[in-house]
Copies of this chain bind each other. A is one copy, B any other.
Amino acid sequence: MMVVMKSGSSQAEVQQVISLIKSWGLEAHLSQGEERTVIGMVGDTRKVQRELFLHYPAIDRIVPISHPYKLASLDFIPNASTFPLDGFEIGGEGIVVIAGPCAVESREQMLETAHAVRSAGAHALRGGAYKPRTSPYAFQGLGEEGLEILAEARELTGLPIITEVMAPELVPLVAKYADVLQIGARNMQNYALLHAAGESQKPVLLKRGMSATIEELLMAAEYILSHGNRRVILCERGIRTYETSTRNTTDINAIPVLKSLTHLPVILDPSHSTGNWKYVTAIARAGVAAGADGIIVEVHPHPEEALSDGGQSLNPNRFAELICQIKSIAAAVDRSMAPAKVQGCV
């Protein structure tokens, strides 16, 4: 960290700051500019609180030098982290497609979707048994019954299961059924949940919070990684901006930015990042073109009857078409589709 002194600060004020820095067991390194004095702090500055300097009138501001995350950083692991899921690898050369309904609504709906997305070429199955809903009056999910239906879908199709967990005390239960735990956008900074997911040692799909910065997403991943759980997948799912023509604004920049900062796999959720099925395929293409390792997309056998997120769900035919288009884009960026139970678009 660098302390930037106000212009015109006196020798005594500079000395006071140097003493303070030394009192923390750090070294102080003085740099005298024409207008400003800058004091570098050398040592382990992780415990230093930047804001404290607001109480020293001669200090203009404190500038951090290092990133606040370590384990998620490319400095720590310089190559892309990949890890196997059931039959394919995430984070490697092959593009992965995760698909399924927003919510498990019934056994019939879930199995119909599972078979349809498997046939079209999906690699894994998503579906929510516990649903975070803005309104207490909306459908809240089937709970453990939904998990059992997901387990049956896996048994029948061979597709691994990704499902959301919303509270730390539910982690053991959900981990019993799921192959990958999903932590939703609203819970990206639910630290009790991040710790529990880390401890579970299950793969975790971590969605970016609705207004989280890229750095905060990496800090949230750090919570999970700090438990020795290295299998974390980051998911861009749109951020909140002033634009109202779509549900969220897909931060497509986040794909190459994350790839330049972290070794973790990065996927895109074009369903939530647009909120409208009409734009899902175009934005899925954009995500893979920008360098995403995969996409997670909502598919429902009858979107117009879905109990949640119907407006952004593709029907099975459109999903099959999406797979074809993703395959073309993957080839255009010198990648391929990861091996699936059924190869799509042949």
A260 close to B (CB within 8 Å)? yes
Residues of the B chain whose Cβ atoms lie less than 8 Å from the Cβ of A242: 211, 213, 239-242
Inter-subunit contact A287/B285 (CB<8 Å): no
A264 close to B (CB within 8 Å)? no
Inter-subunit contact B311/A50 (CB<8 Å): yes
Chain B residue at minimal CB-CB distance from A29: B31
User: Of B44, B243, B331, which one neighbours A239 at CB under 8 angstroms?
Assistant: B243
Inter-subunit contact B213/A54 (CB<8 Å): no
Residues of the B chain whose Cβ atoms lie less than 8 Å from the Cβ of A190: 166-167, 186-187, 190
Q: Which of A86-94, A199-207, A276-284 is the contact stretch?
A: A276-284
A332 close to B (CB within 8 Å)? yes
User: Of B52, B304, B309, which one neighbours A303 at CB under 8 angstroms?
Assistant: B52
Q: How many copies does the complex hold?
A: 4
Residues of the B chain whose Cβ atoms lie less than 8 Å from the Cβ of A245: 213-215, 253-254, 257
A328 close to B (CB within 8 Å)? yes
Q: Which of A109-117, A118-126, A128-136, A174-182 is the contact stretch?
A: A128-136
User: Of B8, B211, B223, B289, which one neighbours A289 at CB under 8 angstroms?
Assistant: B289
Inter-subunit contact B167/A192 (CB<8 Å): yes
Residues of the B chain whose Cβ atoms lie less than 8 Å from the Cβ of A138: 47
Inter-subunit contact A63/B213 (CB<8 Å): no
Q: Which residues of A contact B (CB under 8 A)?
A: 2, 4, 7-8, 29, 31-36, 38, 40-44, 46-47, 49-56, 63, 65-66, 68-69, 75, 132-138, 140, 166-170, 186-187, 189-193, 210-211, 213-216, 219, 222-223, 226, 239-246, 249-257, 260, 273-279, 282-283, 285-291, 303-312, 325, 328-329, 331-333
User: Can you pick out 27 interface pairs between chain A and chain B where the beta carbons lie within 8 Å of each other?
Assistant: A2-B31, A2-B63, A29-B31, A46-B137, A49-B308, A51-B309, A52-B305, A134-B219, A135-B219, A136-B222, A167-B167, A167-B169, A186-B189, A215-B245, A239-B243, A240-B242, A241-B242, A241-B251, A243-B254, A246-B257, A252-B252, A252-B283, A255-B286, A257-B279, A285-B290, A286-B287, A328-B332
